[in-house]
Amino acid sequence: MSLYLNSKKIIKDWTDYNGHMNVAYYVLIFDLFGAEVLMDRFKMGEESAKKTKKSTMVVESHITYNQEVKEGDEVNINLLYFDHDKKRLQYKLEMIHKEKKFLASTIEILSLYVDLDQRKVSEFENEKTQLMKEFIDKHNKSFNKINLKFSSKLKKIK
C-alpha cells in the first residue's frame, strides 16, 4: 500500500526525441512533487533551509524505470516507505500513471540532515524526530519494506 503525496502532468519540455519523458525528469518529479512534500511535512523543506539553515541533502538514490510515460500523461507520486535514524532519512516513492494505474517508476533515497552554515551533518532536533515518529507510527502498516536498498545504512535509534 502507498500514501498519496501529489500529482503532476507530464509537459512537452520533459520529453525527449524518443517520444517519452526523459530520465532526468523522473528525478525532478520525485524531488519537487514527492520529496519536497514529505520534507515540508517534517519541517525540513525550503522554509527550514531559509529560516533555520538546516535541510536535507540526498547522498544516495536507486531508481527504476518500469514503464514509459508521455506528454500529457498524469502521474501520482506516492510514498511507499519511510524511516530515519538520528541523522539520516530513508524513503521510497513510486510514480503511478493516474489513468491507467501502471507503475512507471520508483526511487529510493538516502538523505542526510545538514547544518547549512557549517556544511556538516547534524542530528535532528527533538521536534522533527517526534514528527517523524508520529508519522511512522500512524502509517507503518502501510509501508512496503520489500526490495529496499538502504535499510542497512540506518543506525537505529535505541
Full domain range(s) for residue 65: 3-149
Single pTM value for the model: 0.95
3-state SS string for the chain? CCEEEEEEECCHHHECCCCCECHHHHHHHHHHHHHHHHHHHCCCCHHHHHHCCEEEEEEEEEEEECCCCCCCCEEEEEEEEEEECCCEEEEEEEEEECCCCCEEEEEEEEEEEEECCCCEECCCCHHHHHHHHHHHHHHHHHCCCCCCCCHHHCCCCC
* CATH code, domain carrying 38: 3.10.129.10
Mean pLDDT by 10 residues, the chain (158 residues): 95 96 97 97 95 97 98 98 97 98 98 97 97 96 93 83
pLDDT given at position 158:
59
Is 81 a member of any domain?
A: yes
- Domain count of the chain? 1
pLDDT given at position 91:
98
Is 65 a member of any domain?
A: yes
